[in-house]
Amino acid sequence: MSVADTVKSDLAVAMKAGDRDRVGALRLVLSELQKAAKEGDGDELAVLRRERKRRLDAAQAFRDGGRPELAAGEESEAELIAAYLPAELGDEELRAIVERAVAQSGAQSARDMGKVMPLAMSAVAGRADGRRVSQHVRELLG
């Protein structure tokens, strides 16, 4: 079952339960998934990650603007989206992946970060944020 199908079934359940906030968030997510599929981008997880990041960025903007109630709404939508994403890698697992990528690329210094990042990101396969991967690469090469 694809992520879009799961979201559709969860949307139907939320509609029957009368959960307006959840229905609204799921409709937005489903719309983005369908739009990406229509455009030929079949990477549903990338769409979910992008939408989650948008919500988190909006929540931060609302907090900076003194609107914590709106930030809480965005954060709850981000949590809802995160439930459809695979589990994040732990720091130990991520560090091991980055160490293998550094060994494979033969990187010696921080200037070689461009060689390591593509290897590490492909091995991570969306289970960690690029910032976290970049941080571990810098620690190992720095």
- Tell me: the pLDDT tens digits for 84-102? 988 888 889 999 999 999 9
Amino acid at 74: E
pTM over 0.85: no
Is a pLDDT exceeding 90 seen at residue 8?
Answer: yes
CATH class for the domain made up of 3-82: mainly alpha
Question: Could you tell me where the DSSP H helices lie in 39-129?
Answer: 44-64, 68-82, 91-105, 113-124
Is a pLDDT exceeding 80 seen at residue 1?
Answer: no
pLDDT of residue 34: 93
Residue with tokens 């509609």: 15
pLDDT of residue 12: 95
pLDDT of residue 60: 96
Per CATH, domain 91-141 is 3.90.1150.10: no
C-beta of residue 123 within 8 angstroms of C-beta of residue 97: yes
- Tell me: the pLDDT tens digits for 31-74? 999 999 898 877 888 899 899 999 999 999 999 999 999 999 99
Tell me what the pLDDT averaged over the chain comes to. Answer: 91
Amino acid at 81: I
Comparing 58 with 112, the larger pLDDT belongs to: 58
Alpha-carbon span 82 to 51, nearest angstrom: 9
pLDDT of residue 46: 85
Q: Which residue ranges make up each domain of the chain?
A: 3-82, 91-141
Residue with tokens 């914590």: 68
